[in-house]
Amino acid sequence: MASRMMSACKQYGVSILLSQAVEELMSEVAQSKLRHIDTITVKGSILVQKIYTYDARHQGVDFFLFERSDEQADLDSEHYSPNVWKTDQDLTGMRQHVTEDFEEDFKKGRDAYLAGDWPKALKHLNSANEIMVENVMDQGYIGDELDGNQSMNFEGDDLQSEALRAETGDGPSRRLIAYMESEGNKCPESWKGYRPLTSK
């Protein structure tokens, strides 16, 4: 299962992907930080399960701003509690791009996708993706990676604009949109609220 989750990370454009079985082992606070991105079956299994990601971007986060000595880090690690998800400066720094309006639009889109209301799903998932592009740009997550000759113009249809949108947008939103497009944007009559994750 772990190898399938690792492979699926690339499909969804995320760094971390967890199965429902792993999510169920986590604390309530940790679970609240995860995002249910799809419901699937994996090759070789008929078990229907949710898959989750933890939204975090390391680009643009000044980890050295919060630097601690090795001794302090060791001491801190002995006192970690579930509250670390809300108080750790590195974790909160990597989640500045995740806003309530993004989470709300993604959830509406994902729920509509799973329920088979694909026109509504496409509307909300496209909106969620646009919100993410704006949030990442506003928070400066990729500013350091652009040299002086690159502009952050998303208006054109050129390859650079497309690449910037892909890098700054929301991978799970784009993946669900791509899947619906592959089905002609029409929910199949046989749809049961999940899909097989075909590649390993």
Characterise 110 by phi-psi region: left (phi > 0), alpha (psi -120 to 50), beta (else). alpha
Name the pLDDT band for 150 (thresholds 50, 70, 90).
Answer: very low
Calculate Rg over the CA atoms of the chain.
18
Question: What residue spans define the domains of the chain?
Answer: 2-197
Name the pLDDT band for 161 (thresholds 50, 70, 90).
Answer: low
108-119 confidence digits (pLDDT tens): 999 999 999 999
pLDDT for position 145: 47
pLDDT over threshold 90, residue 167: no
Higher-confidence residue of 149 and 176: namely: 176
pLDDT for position 99: 87
3-state secondary structure the chain: CHHHHHHHHHHHCCCCCEEHHHHCCCCHHHHHCEEEEEEEEECCCCCCEEEEEECCCCCCCCHHHHCCCHHHHHHHHHCCCCCHHHHCHHHHHCCCCCCHHHHHHHHHHHHHHHHCCHHHHHHHHHHHHHHHHHHHHHHCCCHHHCCCCCCCCCCCCCHHHHHHHHHHCCHHHHHHHHHHHHCCCCCCCCCCCCEEECCC
46-69 confidence digits (pLDDT tens): 999 999 999 886 665 555 556 667
Higher-confidence residue of 159 and 186: namely: 186
Average pLDDT, the chain: 82
92-143 confidence digits (pLDDT tens): 666 777 889 999 999 999 999 999 999 999 999 999 999 988 887 776 555 5
